[in-house]
Structure 1
Amino acid sequence: MTQKYTRIFAALDGASTQEAVADRALSLAADNGAHLLFGHVVDSVPNEMNGADYQALCAERLKLLEQELAPTLARAREDARIPSVDVRVAAGRVADTLMEELAQPFNPDLVVCGERGLSNIKYAFVGSVSTFLIRNMRCDVLVVKQD
């Protein structure tokens, strides 16, 4: 029996795979008749000490995402097979916020994310969001590889 997905969460990171992640999530949502949520996290770590206005940063990033992904979002919103399409942005520590504030409340049965291709040293220090999601989400996780 083939798995039928009903709620797909796409984790967007602004990296080179972001468009591929969005396209893959859109295709899977259309094929499965699934609700689709695109999510992005504004990393709070670099700005924790400077009193950044995270609400403004999130609003700015949401507007930028809507512009960057305009063709993909238009296709998703026009596709009658996809019951709902939403884009959300939150601020915090990336992996935790992505999972706890964006993905888990949506209750996805599939998470689509990208591979950033960190160097071995950077990976050792900061880890990998895709690895974190694979280990901690209680649903299928699809990692879209870089070209």
Structure 2
Amino acid sequence: MGMYQRIFVALDGGPTQEAVARRAAYIAQHNNAALLFGHVIDSVPYEANGIDFAALCTEGRENIERELASVLAEVRADDQIPSVDLSVHAGRITDTLLESQIEPFNPDLVVCGARGLSNIKYALVGSVSTFLIRNIDCDVLVVKPEEGDE
């Protein structure tokens, strides 16, 4: 049995998203671990508009399925990975990520990307990776952007 059995992959739609997905896939394959890819659409900009969040989540899921088509096809076909799922929710990012995706899945590893925010942006908006490191009880792997990803 591998070190990790349940791996949650936090997708942000950014330039490191594919690298994050591929790293998680590699770890899952070598640990025979289940994979849950998760994405949260930030609801804050839309809260006053009365937007259809279900439609927004459906569109978000379709975008991820398209953007990560090759990675998702590989992991879904891999006998070493017992299950693969994709979860898209709308809400306040850190709360929704934790309460609607990570906690119910109960992973022993979370893989996320580092966006490389400037010090000013970091001070204003914070960092999801820092939030995860500080607020969940399992291992967190932060995948840094490679040259050319940004």
Letter in 2 for 1:110: L
User: SS at 1:65's partner residue?
Assistant: helix
Counterpart in the other structure of 2:16: 17
Letter in 1 for 2:129: S
Unaligned stretches of 5+ in structure 2? none
How far apart are the structure 1 equivalents of 2:110 and 2:103?
Answer: 10
Matched, 1:101 2:92: no
Q: Counterparts in 2 of 1:1-147, with a 5 A limit?
A: 4-147=3-146
Identity fraction in percent: 66
In the TM superposition, residue 118 of structure 1 has moved relative to its aligned partner by 1.2
Regions of 4+ moved over 3 Å: none
Q: Deviations over 1:22-47 (max 9, x none)?
A: 00000000000000000000100111
User: SS at 1:138's partner residue?
Assistant: coil
In the TM superposition, residue 121 of structure 1 has moved relative to its aligned partner by 1.2
In the TM superposition, residue 53 of structure 1 has moved relative to its aligned partner by 0.8
How far apart are the structure 1 equivalents of 2:113 and 2:98?
Answer: 15
How far apart are the structure 2 equivalents of 1:102 and 1:30?
Answer: 21
Give the alignment's TM-score, normalised by structure 1.
0.97
How far apart are the structure 1 equivalents of 2:77 and 2:100?
Answer: 27
Letter in 1 for 2:141: L
When the two structures are aligned, how many residues end up with a matched partner? 146
Unaligned stretches of 5+ in structure 1? none
Letter in 2 for 1:46: P
User: SS at 1:83's partner residue?
Assistant: coil
How far apart are the structure 2 equivalents of 1:34 and 1:106?
Answer: 12
User: SS at 2:60's partner residue?
Assistant: helix
Give the alignment's TM-score, normalised by structure 2.
0.95
Letter in 2 for 1:102: Q
Letter in 1 for 2:28: A
